[in-house]
Copies of this chain bind each other. A is one copy, B any other.
Amino acid sequence: MSDLLERLRGRGWRMTAQRRVVAEVLDGEHVHLTADEVHARAVDKLPEISRATVYNTLGELVSLGEVLEVSTDRRAKRYDPNAHRPHQHLVCARCGAIRDVHPTGNPLSALPDSERFGFTISDVEVTYRGVCPNCAAA
């Protein structure tokens, strides 16, 4: 995670204990926490951190392109630190588990010009839904 902290510092980010803690919480593969979960884990490390700061910091990380927002369910947004490798999500419809996946081909090419209605398309968001092995076994 010092990678991320270094990058942020290099971009002129003012380093505070709160920001460091939020960045540390968002470390790892297949991490997809809600803002509230991030807050809860941040509080473990820094009890006086406020909800507003977590929201602010997450918003800044998203603006900087260091973290992605994903909405796999209709409840809270989730934050995905795996922003530097394009990927999609695979969600278990029962337990809500989320995995990052990497499809073949460019998903943008699936949409023919005749279906683009003159839009300039820049991005696709793809979420696969199914049942994970654990839930299938249960």
Known: A71-B71, A107-B110. A124 touches B119 (CB 8 A): no
Bitwise interface map of A from 99 to 117 toward B, beta carbon under 8 Å scored 1, else 0: 1011111011011100111
**Number of residues of chain A lying within 8 A (CB) of chain B:** 39
Is A126 an interface residue when CB atoms closer than 8 A count as contact? yes
Using known A-B contacts A74-B69, A126-B126, determine if residue A131 contacts B110 with beta carbons closer than 8 Å. Answer: no
Taken together as a complex, chains A and B put the C-alpha atoms of A103 and B126 apart, in Å, by 13
* Cα A31 to Cα B61 with chains together (Å): 34
Q: How far is the CA of A88 from the CA of B126 in the complex (A)?
A: 10
Known contacts A69-B74, A116-B90: A110-B121 contact under CB 8 Å: no
Contact A126-B125, Cβ < 8 Å, known A101-B111, A110-B104, A116-B90 = yes
Footprint of B on A, CB under 8 Å? 69, 71, 74, 77, 88, 90, 92-93, 99, 101-105, 107-108, 110-112, 115-133, 136
